[in-house]
Structure 1
Amino acid sequence: MLILRNICWLQRRWKSGGKKRWNVLQNKKNNCDRALESFDDFYGSVYGGRWKNMRAALLTRHKYIAMVNNFGDTEQTCSMLETDGAINMKSLINLAQERLQGTDPALKGQGQNRYEIDDKLDALLRKQQEREVASIYPSAGEGGAAVQMPQQLKYDNVEEKEESQTESPDFKQSLTKALEEDVKLDEHRLVDPQFGTGGLYEYMPAHSIKGMEDWVAESEHYKYYQTSADFPLRIEPETSFHFPEHLALYTYEMGNCSDFKAPKKCLTGVSSHFLMDGASTLPPLFLQVQPGERVLDACASPGGKSLLLLQTLHLDQLVCNDIQESRLNRLRRLMQEFLFDYKQRSAARHLIFSQSDARNLDEYEQYDKILVDVPCTTDRHVVMEQDNNIFKPSRIKERLRIPELQAGILTNCLRLLRPGGSLVYSTCSLSPIQNDGVVHMALQKVFVEHGITATIKDLSRHTELFSDVFKFEHPKGLKYGQMVIPYLPANFGPMYFSKITRNV
């Protein structure tokens, strides 16, 4: 007798590789993941142990400052912000000046206490770095011949670097051992910028890109640079800094993450104040626009920096340029919202809109000041937002060409300056390639192709005036500019800026 039984086939999820078969999306990287993975590898090598804190800040909502609109109800707006506990940045700068000059003993003591804490933290970090160095460079007792720790890695080009590594097998063995043990690279092993930007080649370990199909190494950017060429250059301190008398910027003290109230409509019909990342105020501030000057904002949209330049009430003419009509329309809407006489200003030629690739502008030697806030990887945006993310796989080529684009814009803007005029180059990236590297390339290119020389203005003394508001990168890591780094108690930036004056 044949008995038929109902048989039910059940699909079985195999332990090995099951998640990839049944839930592909769980393992798929999104744009933010790609950006963060790239930053972990690249910035982890550049900034060492400090990257962990920067990373946490980048992944946390950033702080804003409030810029009071001089074309609205100015006094009422300032009063409202102060009632909510916000502090006028101008008062913080005045306090910093007193502290630096030593005119207020109490404030000076407070500053010393804070710096003593920083010194202790730096000492702890140095000890940790010494331990890391000891693990990378073993002593004679651990394996025979001693390996001498280099004080600086100095070379002019990649070929010399590869030659030196070939001649030092012990060094290669030590580095391989360190990588196998997942030891962090020590910050002191990076080339000091005073020895040239050839050291930028060390920032991305070659082993990191093996086996990664969609990985694009930051080191690919190096092909745009020829750092061996010489060009005349002066670096000198900026002589003075004056905060614009009519500009009112409000912030909350370090550690205070309170939100500002939304802007209100004033009697004139414009908005009361504008909210922007506080670090974005520094490039236009250090441009030091004076009354009667003709100014260009080469990459103006979305318009916060252009608006700040107008709020100084110094400009004779501001030309706002951008490459796309949609971006210019966004800029026009912003100006219409904050300038009650927007139409009259445009007609009077105080405010001009220009649509062009900044590399193609040809009003040579016609501008007193230029703001060059170039397109960049926008580090904070790409780790937080999927939309318009430069780390999207289809935008790989675009991302690789960013330094070339930036250097092209900066080179042309140096030609647009009148002799004796100044510009400020800025990015919202932590990348030394897009920052000091691009400045180096542009200065070299404009000299070789057009015979133009320039002077770098060292702003480090004046950034101390903002030390109660922002966290700045240690000067030893920068050659041509200054940089606000993400820092949880003062979560602004990143923002790199370099002031350059065209020689007469």
Structure 2
Amino acid sequence: MLRVRSIVLLPRRWKSGAKKRWNVLQNKKNNCDRALENFDDFYGSVYGSRWKNMRAALLTRHKYIALVNNFGDTEQTCSMLEMDGAINMKSLINLAQERLKETSSEPMPAQGQSRHEIEGKLDTLLRKQQEREVSSIYPSLGDDGLPGTLPQQLKFDNLEQKPKDELQEILPFEQSLTKALEEDVRLDENRLVDPQFGTGGLYEYMPAHSIKGMEDWVAESEHYKYYQTSADFPLKIEQETSFQYPEHLSLYTYEMGNCSDFKAPKKCLTGVLSHFMMDGGSTLPPLFLQVQPGERVLDACASPGGKSLVMLQTLHVDQLVCNDIQESRLNKLRKVMQEYLFDFKERWAGKRLIFSQSDARNLGDYDSFDKILVDVPCTTDRHVLNEQDNNIFKPTRIKERLRIPELQAGILTNCLRLLRPGGSLVYSTCSLSPIQNDGVVHMALQKAFAEHNITATIKDLSQQTALFSDVFKFEHPKGLKYGQMVVPYLPANFGPMYFSKITRNS
């Protein structure tokens, strides 16, 4: 009698074109991979050992802040958030102000006092580089357990005893750099980042139209060819002495180290949503803009609307113009405003809140705005590391990405013209790039003076950011020339958010 045996078919990967295609798909880089590779190279050279912690935070889900809607059930919403353990940022600011008064009566040093000393640092940079190279070869401790010293033969105190051929090789650093450039040496293998000032040297960027071939990314060594340490335009940096937290603005956060989630917004009796959740760093640019009652305000790149909503929730804005370049972005902005502003069509649209669709570089209502928020398009560092969609590191968007600094400088320059004399703006990005941050501010100030004879004053916000030190981690001020920046940090995983406050001179 014959027995029927069961047959088990095992899948087999055949040695054919299918296998090759499968391997190709597995090894193919996606948009987030390209972004991470670019940041590792760029930010690793700019921020050094600190980039490791920033990188970990960027790859981790970020932290939110809850903006309470004044047009909903305000008291109930505040009570609900406080019951969940959230803290009103206003109370943290008050505590910080009291603490600063008790601990120090001396004014904080001005940001500009130490940020124009980069000239003459190249020799210091070379010496530090030599010390690092020597320390990597020789142990840091001697046989007796005490700090070791350099071998005698490495101390070139008496150059006259050196052979003539060796003396010819010992050149000043500037001459060595020039010689290396002439010999077409690849400088990106030894990046020149000032160890004291960090990103201070990157005030310039290379225009995208001068990049042959539009490579996937530009080596940081290329940017130093355009480095200029002195400004050829009038520049004044002064302390911002006043800051007033808006009385009616309620922002809630969890303490540093607490990454709890907020409850989802719910509909109030007035038909609007109770609170709006946003990255905490995004609340600072509109806060430091210090909108006052009766002022006419422009949000030059307003979508998706969080920063505009913060300004409206202060109840200070007399008229807010929300501009963006695409209709789809404006529709997203309108949707946010309809969800959070009571009686939107009758009380707001077209009256106190005006929507404008235009390229911010072409807005022409000059000398008419008291305050402007310039939150420009950028590489959106956190987004591109975590989302494949709408990723600026997509291969087909290389040219667009390389032209970002030019776009940003064009927007900021035009917004300086839109300000009335004496008015202020805040320029901001959600990028760690010193080129998109200090570099663009430098280029815009230079362009505004050269083409329109506009001069401006940079407002140092060091004293103001100190009030928020219990909530955010800020970049060391000596690493920046024109602004301040919230850096990603796991216990306070906000940002990145760079912001610079500029006042147009009369």
Which TM class, normalised by the smaller chain length? 0.7 to 0.9
Tell me if structure 2 keeps the 8 A contact 1:48–1:185.
no
Which residues of 2 match residues 96-495 of structure 1 at below 5 A? 96-102=96-102, 132=132, 134-135=134-135, 141=151, 146=156, 163-166=175-178, 188-189=194-195, 197=203, 214-217=216-219, 230-346=232-348, 349-495=351-497
Secondary structure (helix, strand or coil) at the match of 1:408 reads helix
- Could you give the per-residue CA deviations for residues 365-422 of structure 1, whole angstroms, max 9, x where no partner exists? 0000000000000000000000000000000000000000000000000000000000
d(CA) in 2 for partners of 1:74 and 1:445?
45
Partner of 2:51: 51
Per the TM alignment, residue 132 of structure 1 is displaced from its structure 2 partner at its CA by 3.7
d(CA) in 2 for partners of 1:161 and 1:277?
44
Q: Say if 1:141 and 1:437 are closer, same or farther in 2 by CA, change over 3 A.
A: same
Tell me if structure 1 keeps the 8 A contact 2:201–2:229.
no
Q: Say if 1:501 and 1:142 are closer, same or farther in 2 by CA, change over 3 A.
A: same
Per the TM alignment, residue 12 of structure 1 is displaced from its structure 2 partner at its CA by 7.8
Tell me if structure 2 keeps the 8 A contact 1:411–1:446.
yes
Paired letter, 1:439: V
Q: Say if 1:73 and 1:168 are closer, same or farther in 2 by CA, change over 3 A.
A: same
Q: TM-score under structure 1 normalisation?
A: 0.80
d(CA) in 2 for partners of 1:220 and 1:391?
20
Tell me if structure 1 keeps the 8 A contact 2:456–2:505.
yes
Per the TM alignment, residue 99 of structure 1 is displaced from its structure 2 partner at its CA by 1.2
More displaced 10-residue stretch of structure 1: 251-260 or 187-196? 187-196
Per the TM alignment, residue 244 of structure 1 is displaced from its structure 2 partner at its CA by 0.2
- Could you give the per-residue CA deviations for residues 13-56 of structure 1, whole angstroms, max 9, x where no partner exists? 69xxx986651112111000000000000000000000000000
- Could you give the per-residue CA deviations for residues 448-498 of structure 1, whole angstroms, max 9, x where no partner exists? 000000000000111000000000000110000000000000000000000
d(CA) in 1 for partners of 2:245 and 2:52?
34
Per the TM alignment, residue 291 of structure 1 is displaced from its structure 2 partner at its CA by 0.1
d(CA) in 1 for partners of 2:471 and 2:130?
31
Paired letter, 2:496: P
d(CA) in 2 for partners of 1:94 and 1:443?
35
Paired letter, 1:233: L
Per the TM alignment, residue 144 of structure 1 is displaced from its structure 2 partner at its CA by 5.1
Tell me if structure 2 keeps the 8 A contact 1:20–1:27.
no
Identity in percent: 78
d(CA) in 2 for partners of 1:188 and 1:97?
34
Per the TM alignment, residue 134 of structure 1 is displaced from its structure 2 partner at its CA by 3.6
Q: TM-score under structure 2 normalisation?
A: 0.79
1:84 paired to 2:84: yes
Paired letter, 1:315: V
Tell me if structure 2 keeps the 8 A contact 1:366–1:417.
yes
Q: Say if 1:252 and 1:133 are closer, same or farther in 2 by CA, change over 3 A.
A: farther
Secondary structure (helix, strand or coil) at the match of 2:151 reads helix
Paired letter, 2:151: G
- Could you give the per-residue CA deviations for residues 286-313 of structure 1, whole angstroms, max 9, x where no partner exists? 0000000000000000000000100000
Secondary structure (helix, strand or coil) at the match of 1:353 reads strand
Per the TM alignment, residue 341 of structure 1 is displaced from its structure 2 partner at its CA by 1.7
- Could you give the per-residue CA deviations for residues 233-288 of structure 1, whole angstroms, max 9, x where no partner exists? 10000010000000000000000010000001000000000000000000000000
Larger helix share, 1 or 2? 1
Partner of 1:36: 36
Ranges in structure 2 where 5+ consecutive residues have no aligned partner: 1-11, 105-127, 139-148, 158-171
Tell me if structure 2 keeps the 8 A contact 1:296–1:369.
yes
Paired letter, 1:452: I
Secondary structure (helix, strand or coil) at the match of 1:411 reads helix
d(CA) in 2 for partners of 1:325 and 1:263?
26
d(CA) in 1 for partners of 2:344 and 2:432?
36
Tell me if structure 1 keeps the 8 A contact 2:197–2:480.
no
d(CA) in 2 for partners of 1:349 and 1:428?
30
More displaced 10-residue stretch of structure 1: 339-348 or 69-78? 339-348
Tell me if structure 1 keeps the 8 A contact 2:194–2:201.
no
Tell me if structure 2 keeps the 8 A contact 1:221–1:400.
no
Tell me if structure 1 keeps the 8 A contact 2:272–2:342.
yes
d(CA) in 1 for partners of 2:173 and 2:502?
31
Q: Say if 1:275 and 1:34 are closer, same or farther in 2 by CA, change over 3 A.
A: same
Per the TM alignment, residue 189 of structure 1 is displaced from its structure 2 partner at its CA by 3.8
Per the TM alignment, residue 84 of structure 1 is displaced from its structure 2 partner at its CA by 0.3
d(CA) in 2 for partners of 1:257 and 1:142?
54
d(CA) in 1 for partners of 2:223 and 2:130?
31
Q: Say if 1:11 and 1:96 are closer, same or farther in 2 by CA, change over 3 A.
A: closer
d(CA) in 2 for partners of 1:348 and 1:196?
42
d(CA) in 1 for partners of 2:397 and 2:221?
17
Tell me if structure 1 keeps the 8 A contact 2:47–2:198.
no
d(CA) in 1 for partners of 2:69 and 2:390?
30
Paired letter, 1:266: C
Per the TM alignment, residue 164 of structure 1 is displaced from its structure 2 partner at its CA by 3.5
d(CA) in 2 for partners of 1:445 and 1:214?
27
Q: Say if 1:366 and 1:215 are closer, same or farther in 2 by CA, change over 3 A.
A: closer
Partner of 1:116: none
Q: Say if 1:49 and 1:290 are closer, same or farther in 2 by CA, change over 3 A.
A: same
Q: Say if 1:83 and 1:162 are closer, same or farther in 2 by CA, change over 3 A.
A: same
More displaced 10-residue stretch of structure 1: 402-411 or 189-198? 189-198
Q: Say if 1:273 and 1:142 are closer, same or farther in 2 by CA, change over 3 A.
A: farther
